[in-house]
Chains A and B, each alone.
Chain A
């Protein structure tokens, strides 16, 4: 079964600094998708960034970028110029191509210090 591991239950970062959240996953598939979701206190899961496994180029979305290492099954999220609004739970998620469900990690709580 696919598993997603986030080994950092909590992280903190100074405002305007950079922080990296870690995620590893286990799969025997070669074609899949990886996601980072943000869950603020409002509880809604918000898609931050998405990576297609067949693409070697790392995805970027403004201040958010990933380091995707397919052979190592690693998918870290880098947040640059951290803002107070970035404070939230961050979940890494995996989805096989054509499958109907996401597998989530246990999350990392990010605190942004003013």
Chain B
């Protein structure tokens, strides 16, 4: 059983550019959530995907968007990057929507915007 894998592990982008981060969910998990963790902070919920549709969103602007594919993997896209977007982006999967047994997290993508 594989866990949650994220790619790339590190990324440097210039302000104004666009970025795509990728996540493969744990085997058997159909729900994927994305979190942003700024330096020295706890993760903040961006959005969740279930059955290829967005299933809830945190307080993030529309330039943060996502996709989920039939194999339950997911992408996080951020347009018009800002310096404050520099953070660790964590992907978490769960076997069911509304899961309350905790989530399985990946090791994240460290995004630096310069």
Q: A residues within 8 Å of B by Cβ?
A: 4, 33, 35, 37, 42-47, 50, 52, 91, 93, 95, 97-107
Contact = CB atoms under 8 A, between A and B. Distances in A.
A106 B56 contact: no
Nearest to B101: A50
A44 B108 contact: yes
Contacts of A52: 100
Closest 7 CB pairs of A and B: A104-B42, A45-B105, A101-B45, A47-B102, A100-B56, A44-B107, A100-B48
Interface string B53-85: 001101000000000000000000000000000
Interface residues of B, number: 28
Contacts, number: 64
Contacts of B35: 102
20 contacts: A35-B102, A43-B90, A43-B108, A44-B107, A44-B108, A45-B105, A50-B100, A91-B43, A97-B98, A98-B98, A100-B33, A100-B56, A100-B97, A100-B98, A101-B33, A101-B45, A102-B35, A104-B44, A107-B40, A107-B42
B5 to A, nearest CB: 11
A105 B50 CA distance: 25
Contact of A99 (B44, B90, B98): B98
A46 B97 CA distance: 19
Given A98-B98, A100-B97, A106 B42 contact: yes
A93 B47 CA distance: 17
A102 B45 CA distance: 7
Contacts of B55: 100
A47 to B, nearest CB: 4
Contact of A43 (B33, B45, B88, B102): B88
A33 B102 CA distance: 9
